[in-house]
Structure 1
Amino acid sequence: MERRMSVATHWGSFVAVVDSGRLVRIEPRPDDPAPSSIAPGMVTAAEDSARVLRPAVRKGWLDGTPRVDGGARGSDAFVEVGWDEAITLVSEELRRVRSRHGDGAVFGGSYGWASAGRFHHAQGQLHRFLALGGGFTDSRNTYSTAALEVILPHVIGGHPWSYQSRMPMWDEIAENGELVVAFGGLALKNSQINPGGLAKHQTQDLQRRCREAGVRFVNVSPIRGDAAGFLDAEWLPVIPNTDTAAMLGIAHTMLVNGWHDEDFLSRCCVGFDRFAAYLVGEVDGVRKDAAWAAGITGIDAEAITDLARRLTSKRSVIMVNYAVQRADHGEQPIWMSVVLAAMAGSMGRPGGGWGAGYATMDATGVARGRVSVATIPAVPNPVADFIPVARIADTLLHPGEFIDYDGARLTLPELRLIYWCGGNPFHHHQDLHRLSRAWQVPDTVVVHEAWWNTTAKFADIVLPVATGLERDDFAAGFSDPHLVAMPKVREPAGESRTDHQIFAALAARLGFEAEFTESRSESEWVRHLYERTRAELGDDALPGFDDFWRISTAALPPLTGPFPGDLADLRADPGRFPLATPSGRIEIFSAAIDSFGYDDCAGHPTWFEPAEWLRADLSDRFPLHLISNQPASRLHSQYDNGGHSLGSKIRGREPLTMNPADAAARGIQNGMIVRVHNDRGSCLAGVILSDDLMPGVVQLATGAWWDPVRPGQSGTMDRHGNPNVLTADRPCSRLSQGPSALSALVDVEPYDGTPPDVLAFAPPRITPPS
């Protein structure tokens, strides 16, 4: 008999249909107006041949050669072992590394989205375990928004993510706004997701409501499809990585015509005079006028002038997407967008001003936040050392060297053991050939994985974990005002265990099981976290746990503020409501950043030429700019083996979108298998031709599981279409050390001969336990 059960994921809430313990299908909830198509494809992956079914150890490591020189990680066979042996191997290796090299030699990676659950949160479980065991080296910031996270506290103050509660919400824009200018676009595909889950998708309907209310949209992006068709958006194709120059040209036009908001700039900002001197060329002899910007960006000078006029004459919002800061000098478009909004006159007024990431996840712009919900308790990390998140390869290759970071000088630690769960560094990181070389350096790599993806194949010890469908939990998404029950839909595949079960067993061997588990079972933990949330909100705010589990969804009370650093308060009275910046105001010029003396991040927003862009000398050899944006068919690399992602492939390869003119010049036709290449590497992809992409640009989404022809051999071709074999492992700047994936030049050519079979979803060679 079929049973229908609640399912909560990062891409929404659904109904799982189960028959005799077998997952049959996943259906949208009837109250979700825009359900994601990712979830139904989870059925395909639930029991596919790529599942890790038993603990497995790399043969070379098990044979006693833990430090690898010849690139064995990624190409070696694995030996399956029992759980008792696996727990012994991991616990003894943790003891050895800590005693010989110190607690800081253990790296607690776990960067990734993992499960949507509050208790089964992979990174929280790992960090709690490692902190109780003595400590670990951690990473700071995210691959998604590292530049933004570092620059915004300098410019508008507060926590790096506090801007989410301080920018206009979609309903405010619909009621009061007139013009939205979106740098990097507003691609709805990105709004499928929300970290921590969500009850229903709202962004599409909210955007539609804005358009129906008369709000006009301008999409400043290389991709027309970065704005939904129903928005009727004006498309201004912009050369990638030149958003800052476009904004400077708009700002110069505002300034010389006297259209800028002098009152707000004088009362609520500091440093405009120094920035204005830069705009008019007093600093470097270059006037940043519309003609100058047009020569850099490819946008007509007349369009730049018109945009300046409209921004200052209408209630306007300047939106900037996360993608524009994942590039060389990625701090600059974020900083400059705040300055441009301050000049335009709508900052701090209802439905106007500035915001970031509006279509990057469903939560952004939907609500100012949500009340606090309990999660697995964190434990203070005894190790103070950290690395910027995107500098893992540098750390492994150059321990002991110094790097700059946000005014500090960091020493890269020597990492001897990497412990990773809930993420996929061979998806997130740039220049995968460099990462694979770096990955050979540590003594041991331990990974928790449900499938034999690239990270599992590059590990020494792989411990099989249950998926979000195979354990009890509850979800609470970022800014989403709901809790959603996550009952176990099916039994864990093979011998899989939850992350918590694995860490509890390791903690028992290492002597701190009671501290780690607090003597609670997993079901008791889930109930405890829910009831703790209920008690903190007041018992009347939420139903009791048993009722919640039965009805599957509970509404949280709305978050009403106050919201520190609110820009409307700043406009009303900057003396009474200062920002958490050194001046208490928006820092158009930052004395702190200026004091760092960085040659790649000045004291005010500045145009820096990217290392790789369509005006660079390198474009003579590689004349196409690669946009490696977020996929529509999966979340990052999650469920690339799911039915929805597999259905998007072209002859098994990730699709590459090209402008027909670029394709014709190379003899490329729609559906053809092509080789995408530069000096860092190459991959195969299947071509889609589209006029929605400006000439000179190609688009290849991230997240296809890396499938090198010869694993461990630097430069070998990827069969599947992972763009990070082509992107540069180069920091945005010395300020943030964030990734610059979207500063990459390539060329594309037809692939001659028979393409090699895609083996991304095939397990490695495995020897069963004796």
Structure 2
Amino acid sequence: METRMGQAAKRSERSVDAAPDWRSAVCPHDCADRCRLRACVAEGRLIALAGDPDHPVTQGFICRKIAELPARLNGPERLRRPLLRGGPKGSGEFRPIGWAEAIATIAQRWQAILATDGPYAILPFFGSGTEGLVQGHIAPKRFFNRLGSLQMIRTICTRAGRTGYRQTMGGSISPDPTAIGGCSLVVLWGVNPAATNIHQLPTLKEARARGAKLVVVNPVRIRGAEGADLVLQPKPGSDAALALGVMHALVRDGRHDADFVARATMGFEELARRLADYPPQRVAGLTGLTVAEIEAFARLYGEHRHSFISVGPGCQRHSNGGLTLRSIACLPGLTGALRFAGGGVYFPTSTIFPHDWHELEGEELRPTPAAGYNMIHLAHMLNGTGFPIRSLFVAQGNPASVLYNQSALRAGLGREDLFTVVHDLFLTDTARLADIVLPATSAFEQADLFFSYFVPALYRSQRIVAPPGEARSNRQLFGDLAQALGFGEACFAQDDDALIRELLAADHPAIRGLDRARLDAQGWAPVAAETTDRRFGPDRALPEDLRLRFADATLAAPEYLPPKESEEGSPDRFARYPLALVTPSGHSFLNSNYAGEAGLTAEEIRPTLYLHPDDAARRGVANGDRVTVFNDRGRFEVWAVVEARVKPGVAVAPGQWWSRHYPCGGNANMTTPDFVADLGGGSAFNSNLVEVRRADGI
């Protein structure tokens, strides 16, 4: 059978005359897998990507998203020169300018703002377009610390869940996800690995081949639920209630591991008192499940103590998201699943390999006290809440597509008095609202370091092709701006390799003991990360600081609080907007990444809304109808897909397409809220009630 690299090479050879040259590379995206790549270069261009067959996680296969990237990086939509706005904001009217003019203009505008309003008036926003430690984290943080700006606090993805998880587990300790082949029960809770973690699939298949039971918990019947032993579709945001109901049944029936609880946990008595409030009969009403389904889940979980629960981020993107992860993380503490290799709860928390490299981020350079803002509240910042914001700098992100409460955000982004600079590869929704757009390099056109939080490892990525046109990296751009603003610190003159050397020389716990020779020789090396079985496996009484916390003197036992927007949490609002809208990842997109790539948008066909047949019938909606989805925050239009795999009362809008693909120019985030979750200031956009009607004129 022909290898995937061979197939990719054949496709590539059709467009070039020179023989292809395969080089090592790394996928830069915010994805747990962190694929090790083989990059095909010919005539100085990146023409194909394939999975590294020798890498133990990548195993020679990659998702279609990254496989399609070379064509887009070489395509006509790639930005190659700086642009200056030439018409009204949002018109997309720009004219090319040189880098000297662009840097001088930015420096002049910022110097004027610094003189009148101070550095807090210049706001940085960074997404996860690249997860490089040098380009995506160290370089921008150094510059904006030296400038004295507010620093953006990353909260959008898993902040609530990882706060709840860490409170329970005492840190970012996690089961080894490559060891789940030996588990007798696998639970996919709010996660769809076929779309978001494809390199978990081989170990899932191994476990199933050995006879492991499979439970799927998701409001939507995902791909892969076929053949599961149990499929549960709870109401969105009711996951904590389900976990508490399962624990109630475990304790009621004596299916918990009393010895493990005694030696390795804290607060069982308080938890048991709390569980008395969550009998399956009550939990059935809270979750929309049947008592029989809850009892069946509890029975499976109690019988199969060597169990692995994979939790996706969607279920903690609710107003109760922190308590949701607290509740789920308690489950293996009752059964002792943490004793086994691969046992416990896996939540994709990047704090296993943290971004905070304080000694390298230039905090000592600040001319102002350190302060930050929650990235979820960008609309509030731009619309006058807090410090007056006069300028916005955006890189490796597209807030005009992915952030919430878009009506308010777009009003802020559209301010004519807001000087906006965007550094990106493409003219995104956000870039169209900028005053200056700067062409960025891709991860294959610069050197960097990347971490993986699926199987903890550090990767080194080399520049393998030159950037097209005049594209510059974050590190180059901030060096240019530092020089123009008169910052004389030597750190702003460092090149990529110097920054990498400095980072690798840092005394950071994430890289202590790193095999540098292995990193240099093969381009990646594992990093030390304690796994749950190493801590909890030995048959010994653990000290308090290493125990799982059901509760303690400062931490109450978990409980269920209904989502802020739900039938129980806001009955008056529910009467007006009775559908719970959730926005899971699309198979072809990564947030809004690739939502402008023709091949992948063609695969997704068009923006859609999935409805249960009963909900569609009540609204006179048929399959394929164009519908308006709305609440008092905003509205968007999509095409209906009527399918029974969606739970009644739930509407599902997968992926975040760019606005130009929607009939009325806005995606689901026109309706999403920007209030924060219960823990960590995390996002809560899945706590979102809407109504649906046939679009006008249809």
What is the TM-score of this pair, normalised by structure 2?
0.84
The residue correspondences of 1:186-205 to structure 2 (distance < 5 A) are 186-192=192-198, 202-205=199-202
What SS does the aligned partner of 1:682 have? strand
Provide closer, same or farther for how the CA distance between residues 524 and 52 of structure 1 changes in structure 2, counting only shifts above 3 A. same
Q: Do the aligned partners of 2:338 and 2:537 also contact (CA within 8 Å) in 1?
A: no
Q: Decide which of 37, 42, 47 is 2:69's aligned counterpart.
A: 42
Q: Do the aligned partners of 1:430 and 1:728 also contact (CA within 8 Å) in 2?
A: yes
1:600 maps to what in 2?
A: none
2:680 maps to what in 1?
A: 736
2:193 is the counterpart of 1:247: no
User: How many angstroms does 1:295 deviate by?
Assistant: 1.1
What SS does the aligned partner of 1:719 have? coil
1:107 maps to what in 2?
A: 123
Task: Supply the AA of the counterpart residue of 1:125.
Answer: A
Whole-angstrom CA distance in 1 between matches of 2:326 and 2:243: 10
The residue correspondences of 1:589-628 to structure 2 (distance < 5 A) are 589-592=551-554, 603-613=556-566, 616-628=571-583
Q: Decide which of 184, 188, 209 is 1:212's aligned counterpart.
A: 209
Provide closer, same or farther for how the CA distance between residues 255 and 90 of structure 1 changes in structure 2, counting only shifts above 3 A. same
2:585 maps to what in 1?
A: 630
Q: Decide which of 307, 310, 313 is 2:300's aligned counterpart.
A: 310
Whole-angstrom CA distance in 2 between matches of 1:180 and 1:15: 32
1:3 maps to what in 2?
A: 20
Provide closer, same or farther for how the CA distance between residues 692 and 312 of structure 1 changes in structure 2, counting only shifts above 3 A. same
1:380 maps to what in 2?
A: 363
User: How many angstroms does 1:605 deviate by?
Assistant: 1.5
User: How many angstroms does 1:523 deviate by?
Assistant: 6.1
Provide closer, same or farther for how the CA distance between residues 414 and 585 of structure 1 changes in structure 2, counting only shifts above 3 A. farther
2:463 is the counterpart of 1:487: yes
1:675 maps to what in 2?
A: 628
Task: Supply the AA of the counterpart residue of 1:293.
Answer: V
1:152 maps to what in 2?
A: 165
Task: Supply the AA of the counterpart residue of 1:658.
Answer: L
Task: Supply the AA of the counterpart residue of 1:299.
Answer: L
What SS does the aligned partner of 2:222 have? helix
Whole-angstrom CA distance in 2 between matches of 1:743 and 1:561: 33
User: How many angstroms does 1:324 deviate by?
Assistant: 0.7
Provide closer, same or farther for how the CA distance between residues 444 and 591 of structure 1 changes in structure 2, counting only shifts above 3 A. farther
2:15 maps to what in 1?
A: none
Q: Do the aligned partners of 2:478 and 2:492 also contact (CA within 8 Å) in 1?
A: no
The residue correspondences of 1:280-679 to structure 2 (distance < 5 A) are 280=276, 287-315=277-305, 316-357=307-348, 377-380=360-363, 382=366, 383-397=369-383, 399-400=385-386, 413-440=387-414, 443-473=418-448, 475-478=450-453, 479=455, 481=457, 483=459, 485-489=461-465, 491-492=467-468, 494-512=469-487, 515-518=490-493, 520-522=494-496, 537=514, 540-543=517-520, 553-556=522-525, 558-559=526-527, 567-568=535-536, 572-575=540-543, 578-579=544-545, 585-592=547-554, 603-613=556-566, 616-650=571-605, 653-679=606-632
User: How many angstroms does 1:143 deviate by?
Assistant: 0.8
- Structure 1, unaligned runs of 5 or more: 61-71, 193-201, 281-286, 401-412, 594-602, 710-716, 755-770
Provide closer, same or farther for how the CA distance between residues 251 and 522 of structure 1 changes in structure 2, counting only shifts above 3 A. closer
Whole-angstrom CA distance in 1 between matches of 2:192 and 2:434: 37
What SS does the aligned partner of 1:694 have? coil
1:664-703 residue CA offsets vs partner (Å, 9 max, x unmatched): 4444444443332222222222334433322332221232
Whole-angstrom CA distance in 1 between matches of 2:661 and 2:225: 35
Write 1 or 2 for the structure with the bigger share of helix.
Answer: 2
Sequence identity percentage: 26
Provide closer, same or farther for how the CA distance between residues 521 and 608 of structure 1 changes in structure 2, counting only shifts above 3 A. closer
Q: Do the aligned partners of 1:143 and 1:428 also contact (CA within 8 Å) in 2?
A: no
Q: Do the aligned partners of 1:654 and 1:685 also contact (CA within 8 Å) in 2?
A: yes
What SS does the aligned partner of 1:419 have? strand
1:140 maps to what in 2?
A: 153
Q: Give the stretch that moved more between structures: 49-58 or 370-379.
A: 370-379
Task: Supply the AA of the counterpart residue of 1:36.
Answer: C
1:686 maps to what in 2?
A: 639
2:8 maps to what in 1?
A: none
1:55 maps to what in 2?
A: 82
Provide closer, same or farther for how the CA distance between residues 226 and 146 of structure 1 changes in structure 2, counting only shifts above 3 A. farther
User: How many angstroms does 1:274 deviate by?
Assistant: 3.1
Provide closer, same or farther for how the CA distance between residues 107 and 12 of structure 1 changes in structure 2, counting only shifts above 3 A. same
Q: Do the aligned partners of 1:56 and 1:463 also contact (CA within 8 Å) in 2?
A: yes
| Paired residue total | 660
1:713 maps to what in 2?
A: none
User: How many angstroms does 1:333 deviate by?
Assistant: 1.0
1:622-680 residue CA offsets vs partner (Å, 9 max, x unmatched): 33321101221122111212244222243xx3233333443344444444433322222
User: How many angstroms does 1:208 deviate by?
Assistant: 0.8
Q: Do the aligned partners of 2:91 and 2:432 also contact (CA within 8 Å) in 1?
A: yes
What SS does the aligned partner of 1:57 have? strand
Superposed CA RMSD in Å reads 3.6
1:699-728 residue CA offsets vs partner (Å, 9 max, x unmatched): 21232113499xxxxxxx7436x2111211
Task: Supply the AA of the counterpart residue of 1:743.
Answer: S
1:181 maps to what in 2?
A: 187
Q: Do the aligned partners of 1:141 and 1:389 also contact (CA within 8 Å) in 2?
A: yes
Q: Give the stretch that moved more between structures: 680-689 or 566-575.
A: 566-575
User: How many angstroms does 1:335 deviate by?
Assistant: 0.8
Task: Supply the AA of the counterpart residue of 2:210.
Answer: A
Provide closer, same or farther for how the CA distance between residues 591 and 446 of structure 1 changes in structure 2, counting only shifts above 3 A. farther
Whole-angstrom CA distance in 1 between matches of 2:320 and 2:156: 15
Whole-angstrom CA distance in 2 between matches of 1:234 and 1:484: 42
Q: Do the aligned partners of 1:23 and 1:489 also contact (CA within 8 Å) in 2?
A: yes
Provide closer, same or farther for how the CA distance between residues 309 and 288 of structure 1 changes in structure 2, counting only shifts above 3 A. same
Task: Supply the AA of the counterpart residue of 2:180.
Answer: I
1:745 maps to what in 2?
A: 689
Whole-angstrom CA distance in 2 between matches of 1:335 and 1:570: 24
- Structure 2, unaligned runs of 5 or more: 1-17
Provide closer, same or farther for how the CA distance between residues 21 and 567 of structure 1 changes in structure 2, counting only shifts above 3 A. closer
1:759 maps to what in 2?
A: none
Q: Decide which of 264, 272, 279 is 1:276's aligned counterpart.
A: 272
Whole-angstrom CA distance in 2 between matches of 1:448 and 1:182: 37
What SS does the aligned partner of 1:572 have? coil
Provide closer, same or farther for how the CA distance between residues 47 and 167 of structure 1 changes in structure 2, counting only shifts above 3 A. closer
User: How many angstroms does 1:147 deviate by?
Assistant: 0.5
User: How many angstroms does 1:395 deviate by?
Assistant: 3.4
1:124-165 residue CA offsets vs partner (Å, 9 max, x unmatched): 32112222x34321122431111123333433323xxx2xxx
Provide closer, same or farther for how the CA distance between residues 667 and 246 of structure 1 changes in structure 2, counting only shifts above 3 A. same
What SS does the aligned partner of 1:448 have? strand
